[in-house]
Structure 1
Amino acid sequence: MGVSALTKRERVVLAHLREDITLQDIADRLWVTRNTVKSQLRSAYRKMGVSTRVDAVAWARAHGI
């Protein structure tokens, strides 16, 4: 799947994921709970076909996120 399959929020969370910060830091920046970030990442990982943070970051970089 391509970038268009991701929601806007999933793309935002992925962009923060590239900064190598904690999920709690991402949640604090986005004014949501850590569990919300985890849920958004699970959904994005499934759409990207990846299972690790490293793979997700690599995918995001390769797709311009």
Structure 2
Amino acid sequence: MSMLETRANAATFTGHTLTRRERVVLAELAEDVTLEEIATRLFVTRNTVKSQVRSVYRKIGASTRAEAVAWAVAHGIR
């Protein structure tokens, strides 16, 4: 199985799939940066990043940034 397939499989769980952008945002959350800095890096607004973060949290069952980052590490997204 290729690295790309492994990462795609890691982002699929309990019937929900993280979008490509959600995986990017989730990986960015692992860095010591603000949502504003993530938005600047991704050329979107802070509100867009907030919406994507909320969607990621809902899909993976996280309620904090630390939980989301731990999930990302455990599933090979970071």
Which TM class, normalised by the smaller chain length? Answer: over 0.9
Root-mean-square deviation (CA), in Å?
0.9
In the TM superposition, residue 3 of structure 1 has moved relative to its aligned partner by 1.1
Code of the aligned partner of 2:18: L
Q: Report the Cα distance in structure 1 between the residues aligned to 2:37 and 2:46, rounded to whole angstroms.
A: 8
Hey, what does 2:40 align to over in structure 1? 28
Match of 1:32, SS state, is coil
Hey, what does 2:11 align to over in structure 1? 3
Structure 1 residue 13 and structure 2 residue 21: aligned? no
Structure 1 residue 41 and structure 2 residue 53: aligned? yes
Hey, what does 1:62 align to over in structure 2? 74
Moved segments of 4+, more than 4 Å: none
Give aligned-pair identity as a percent: 70
Q: Report the Cα distance in structure 1 between the residues aligned to 2:51 and 2:58, rounded to whole angstroms.
A: 11
Greater fraction helix: 1
Larger Rg, first or second structure (1 or 2):
2
Q: Report the Cα distance in structure 2 between the residues aligned to 1:9 and 1:34, rounded to whole angstroms.
A: 14
Match of 1:58, SS state, is helix
Code of the aligned partner of 1:44: V
Unaligned stretches of 5+ in structure 1? none
- Counting matched residue pairs gives 64
Unaligned stretches of 5+ in structure 2? 1-9
